[in-house]
Chain A
Amino acid sequence: MANLVEIRDLKVEATTDSGRRVEIIKGISLDVADGEIVALIGESGSGKTTIALSLMGYARPGCRISGGSVSVAGKDMVALREKERSRIRGTEVAYVPQSAAAAFNPAATIMDQVIEITRIHQLMSPDEARAKAVDLFRALSLPEPETIGARYPHQVSGGQLQRLSAAMALIGDPKLVIFDEPTTALDVTTQIEVLRAFKSVMKKGGIAGVYVSHDLAVVAQIADRIVVLKGGEMQETGTTEEILNDAKHPYTRELLDAFEPKPRGAAGPAEPTPAPLLKVDALVAGYGPRQADGLPLVRAVRQVSLKLEKGRNLGIIGESGCGKSTLARAIAGILPAVAGDIVFEGRELGRSARERSREQLREMQIVFQYADTALNPAKSIEDILDRPLSFYHGMDRKARSARIDELLDMVRLPRNLRHRRPSELSGGQKQRVNFARALAAEPKLILCDEITSALDTVVAAAIIDLLKELQRELGLSYMFISHDLSTVQAICDEVVVMYAGEKVEQLASADLASGAKHPYSKLLFASVPKLDTGWLDGLDQQPELVRALSKAG
């Protein structure tokens, strides 16, 4: 019995809707030593969460552990009876879920939920448990550790809640903690604090961890060893240093390459056109009833001005809630702006899409983040692409059919896909269809609202390459909204940094890191994790600045 965790030839089966049995984990073996943090990395569907859950002897509904053994601290979780398993859960193995917001009961105080494990397993008296919880809060560098437990989940921020769910996991003194993408839903500036807190608590307590993530850079900061998974099979395993610097497997290298997309080659000087393609002047947009001063209650975009030259790309970057999506919606006319001008190709546009001519609507298209909701599930791909063709261009049936083939070629999708429905496509394919629909209008400007954020890194990199290629061929301009700095850098010439509804700074994408002057942009750029194991420890940030600027902090 050398290692804390020994997984041997684990197989997990799932039953599909049509009743077919599919093996989703195909014989995985891995070890976790005492006090070691092992990261499971891979794209969605690679089985990383399934493996992590099997450490608690749990398989999600429809799944079944069909073979192999999972030994945790000498006990085989697969062979144990449910009652014995539940005795181990929380005391020897604990779990930190991806969405802490969904994991907490909104109707109970945080303290009651954090010490619930000690009550269930009768580990200690409630008073002792509360004292211990406060110690944990302090160790996780939560603000006001004495009183934060009395609050309800909605009264703390997302980053704090995530650390509180770690406290919940740690209170039973587990030997092993499973982290299931705990920072994926957080902003970069918040992510740093959470990662730091996790790391110090785990190191201090000598607790072993399994860290599930799709983000290599995050994993590099916290893990001792990395296991790369794809399609339920182990591709490569090694120490973090080995994987980062000397990856053997082609898939690992693909992941590493996708992390840093090739920066956009310096575009030639913009054509000296008298008018820019899009000019936004002092735009104000928001939600809620209008106040006495004629402005909405919540002003999500305040006095933003920007300019986009033809054939160039503009990136909008900022954290969740900074107003970047609202800006795109206001420009597209979905949410009519309250004040300010939008000038497109020298002509002023109506604030609401209803006031714009069909031609104006055609020339500016928007592509949304979630291809799942942006494509009508009841229609085939053919019908989805067909509509803009007949609507804007009035093509006859034959011309439309030929054009759909062309569009599918353009976005690198096989032509026979046209008869399928969106639910029969993968996430990346859906996003391509989504993009093809925008192209069908033959626009001059495409607003891309976080179009790669819901995709895996490798898939997202392919989409970015596609965007660049289409730009060269069709002379498009993009306005690219994202929270991910490296994607924006890969495609944009200029980047606008937004903070709390205001434009903070506009920079050329080449000198983002060096040229930033505003403290917020500096903080934002410094917070993007790097593929370097020492990055987090070497990072020097003033906590006051972070707290002042990151609302979520």
Chain B
Amino acid sequence: MTMTTSSTSTKSDRISGTRLGYRFNIVGIVGLTVILSWALVAVFAPLILPYPVGEIVDLDYFGPMSRDFWFGSDYLGRDMLSRILMGARYTVGISLAAVTIACFSGVVLGMVAAVAGGWLDTILSRFLDALNSIPSKLFGLVVVAAVGSSIPVLILTLSVIYIPGAYRFARALAVNINAMDFITVARIRGESTLYLIRSEILPNIVGPVLADLGIRFVFIVLLLSGLSFLGLGVQPPYADWGALVRENIGGLPFGAPAVIFPSLAIASLTISVNLLIDNLPQKIRDRA
């Protein structure tokens, strides 16, 4: 009798857990809201632009905030709000693509290295350590300067820079899981490496890997903005947030909103991602 009651109670817990979703605290909700709104902006930017992106609409340059131009105007008199909304596409899109590639390859390689061990592990680890030893900004600058800047090149460069970190992180987690008896059991059942990493290891490290993905996203946003600020990122007439800061840096002595708002946009995105992963629901954090 005790058995039945306890089992029904756990069952109802689980159902309510999946139905109501995860429990966030307030800081986590704020972070998530900011991230989601930037994501929506990135997707629907063309629909909500007050002015066309490339068009000079203000007679003044570095115009102040006004009714017509909420975020002021830039060094050519283009509407800043439209530029930032459109810039979200580049900043969020490129970073997201890069972080996805980086984490996917890093985590897969890390798990394979942990499970396979031996020479494969040694070679992979040393190679990626070597890659890791190159300063990220320098690497980015050299590659983009050599190959030329285009969006695919940017995405690939950024992801290559962040693969070693994701690899190290996933490998460290997977090595611990790999030492557990249930892996031994699966191994002597005759399971393949693919099964081991997909079904036995991945479910146990997915929580920390998600948190790591968030941090890495922030790094990539900052590096991308840095590259764009140096003129090697997204090329004119298009501009991501880093490029917007660079274009309008001349407005800094005048306290022009054109230079402040893109900076605020970068800060709001990175800070809220950090807030979100620091306040991930207990359920996700406890996965490992």
Chain A residues at the B interface, C-beta cutoff of 8 Å:
332-334, 353, 356, 358, 361, 366, 368, 370, 373-379, 387-388, 391-392, 414, 416-417, 419-420, 424, 437, 441
> Are the CB atoms of B188 and A373 closer together than 8 Å?
no
Contact yes or no, A334 B203, CB < 8 A: no
Per the bound structure, the CA–CA distance linking A358 and B7 in Å amounts to 36
Candidates B4, B180, B181, B188; contact of A353 at CB < 8 Å: B188
B287 interfacial by beta-carbon distance below 8 Å: yes
- Tell me whether B191 and A391 are in contact (CB under 8 A): yes
A–B complex contacts, Cβ < 8 Å, 22 sampled: A332-B188, A333-B188, A334-B184, A334-B187, A334-B188, A353-B190, A361-B190, A366-B185, A366-B188, A368-B181, A368-B184, A373-B180, A373-B182, A374-B180, A376-B182, A376-B200, A378-B287, A379-B199, A387-B186, A419-B11, A424-B10, A437-B185
Out of A361, A368, A420, A441, name the residue touching B7 (CB < 8 Å): A420
Q: Is the CB of A417 within 8 A of B204?
A: no
- Closest residue of chain A to B14 (Cβ to Cβ) is A419
> In the complex, A416→B10 CA distance in Å?
11
Complex-state Cα separation, A358 to B14, whole angstroms: 37
Question: Are B200's CB and A391's CB within 8 A?
Answer: no
Residue pair A376, B188 in contact (C-beta under 8 Å): no
- Give A373 to B204 CA distance when docked, in angstroms: 12
Whole-angstrom distance between the alpha carbons of A373 and B183 in the complex? Answer: 9
B189, A391: Cβ atoms closer than 8 Å: yes
At the interface, yes or no: B3 with Cβ under 8 Å from chain A? yes
| Interface residues in B249-284 (C-beta closer than 8 Å to A) | none
1/0 per residue, CB under 8 A from A, across B97-119: the answer is 00000000000000000000000
B282 to chain A, nearest CB (A): 8
Name the contact of B10 in the complex, choosing from A356, A375, A420, A441 (C-beta under 8 A): A420
Q: Are A374 and B190 in contact (CB under 8 A)?
A: no
Contacting residues, chain B, for A391 (C-beta < 8 A): 189-191
- In the assembled complex, how far is the CB of residue A380 from the closest CB belonging to chain B, in whole angstroms? 10
Contact between chains at B204 and A376 (CB < 8 Å): yes
Bitwise interface map of B from 1 to 15 toward A, beta carbon under 8 Å scored 1, else 0 = 001100100110010
Residue of chain A at shortest CB distance from B188: A353
Tell me which residues across on chain B come within 8 A of A356, comparing CB atoms: 190
In the complex, which residues of chain A have a beta carbon less than 8 angstroms from the beta carbon of B10? 420, 424
Residue pair B7, A370 in contact (C-beta under 8 Å):
no
CB-contacts of B154-199 with A (<8 A): 180-182, 184-191, 199
3 tightest CB-CB pairs across the interface, nearest first?
Answer: A378-B203, A374-B181, A368-B181
- A168-B200 Cα distance, complex, nearest whole Å: 45
For window 5-38 of B, CB contacts with A under 8 Å fall at 7, 10-11, 14
Return chain A residues, CB-CB under 8 Å to B199. 379, 387
